[in-house]
Amino acid sequence: MSLYKKSRYENIVFIVLILICFIFIGGRFFVTINCIKHFIYYIAYPNLSAADNILKFSGNFANNIESLISLHQDNISYKQKNQELIDKLRNYELITHEYESLLKLFKLDKVDNTKSVYARIVVREPSLWYQSFIIDKGSDDGLYNELPVAVFNKTKNALYAMGTIVETYKNSSKVALITNSESILPVEIKNKGINCLVEGFDSCLVKVTYIPLNVDVKPGDELVVSNLSSIFNYGIPVGVIRGIVQEPYMDFQTATAEVFFDMVSSNIAIVLVPSEQKQ
């Protein structure tokens, strides 16, 4: 008993459906189709096995999605940083504007920052190891005698006092180190406000002289350039006290200090050149 009329297209539809099925079965060998299938399964029955299958079959597809997500996250954080920087810039502009207004109001000269000239240490004689060296920048680069020379310490992210230019040539300059026996630098014991002098004696240690007898100075105290220095700016680190010598018949006590700059690893010196106006 038949309840239906035979369709003309049943064979064609059958072939089409079979082809679709084979395409789907072949899709097993395509990562994306497999991944989508397991993803749908995971939505229907969320379980660890399905999640594992998604990750297993996804391969590069998942990596791409992960990259997209991380890029998106990076983008968000960069936008936040950008916003913070914009805010800082706005504050800076406001402060600058206020500063200029105050300068006009009090009829003061504008203080300019120091210009840094990076120079390579090209000559360092072993016999003059703690006395001087030659840098590859000279008068052509705007250098002149008695300019302060410092060195940048990457690990501590700080600038350390190193020496002073004593001879200037067209393309080179000679720098006398603070460890040089002819060098004297006014310093201050950090956080104690005690002024004293650092005198070199051609070694890695320096002598700290004119420390008053009644002050408490201990090994480990840091030395920074004092306000009395006409060459260096105030506060540049110089060294650290290693030992104290107290002699009863002297009015002052003396200490030995180790300088911060490392002669062995220092290859680049920074010459701190004041701006034209300041000169």
Partner 1 sequence: MRKLILYFLIYIFFCLIQFFFSQYLNSFRIFPNFILVCVVCIGFIKGSFNAQLVGFLFGLTWDIFSTDVFATRALLFTILGYLSGKLNRKFDIINTFFQCVIVFLANIVYDLGLYLINCIIIQDFKDTLTFKNISNIFTTTIVTPFVFYVLRRVLKGI
Residues that bind partner 1 (CB under 8 A): 1-7, 9-10, 13-14, 17-18, 20-25, 27-28, 33-34, 37-38, 40-41, 44-45, 49-50, 53
Dihedral over Cα of 253, 258, 263, 269: its sign:
negative
Dihedral over Cα of 123, 125, 129, 133: its sign:
negative
Residue type, 152: F
Smallest gap from Cβ 61 to partner 1, in A, equals: 16
Smallest gap from Cβ 37 to partner 1, in A, equals: 5
Smallest gap from Cβ 60 to partner 1, in A, equals: 20
Q: Which is nearer to partner 1, 21 or 103 (CB)?
A: 21
Q: Which is nearer to partner 1, 43 or 264 (CB)?
A: 43
Q: Which is nearer to partner 1, 9 or 106 (CB)?
A: 9
Closest CA to 143 of 112, 111, 168, 179: 168
Please state whether beta strands 205-212 and 158-168 pair in parallel, antiparallel, or not at all (unpaired).
Answer: unpaired
Cβ(191)–Cβ(168) below 8 Å: no
Smallest gap from Cβ 16 to partner 1, in A, equals: 10
Smallest gap from Cβ 47 to partner 1, in A, equals: 10
Q: Which is nearer to partner 1, 30 or 144 (CB)?
A: 30
Q: Which is nearer to partner 1, 27 or 186 (CB)?
A: 27
Q: Rounded distance, CA 25 to CA 268, Å? A: 67
Q: Rounded to whole angstroms, what are the CA distances from 92 to 56, 85, 198?
A: 52, 10, 38
Q: Which is nearer to partner 1, 47 or 267 (CB)?
A: 47
Smallest gap from Cβ 55 to partner 1, in A, equals: 14
Q: Which is nearer to partner 1, 52 or 98 (CB)?
A: 52
Smallest gap from Cβ 21 to partner 1, in A, equals: 4
Q: Rounded distance, CA 97 to CA 206, Å? A: 45
- Dihedral (C-alpha) 111, 197, 169, 125: value to the nearest 10 degrees? -140
Cβ(207)–Cβ(244) below 8 Å: no
> Concatenated DSSP letters for 218-238?
-TT-EEEE-TT-SSSPTT-EE
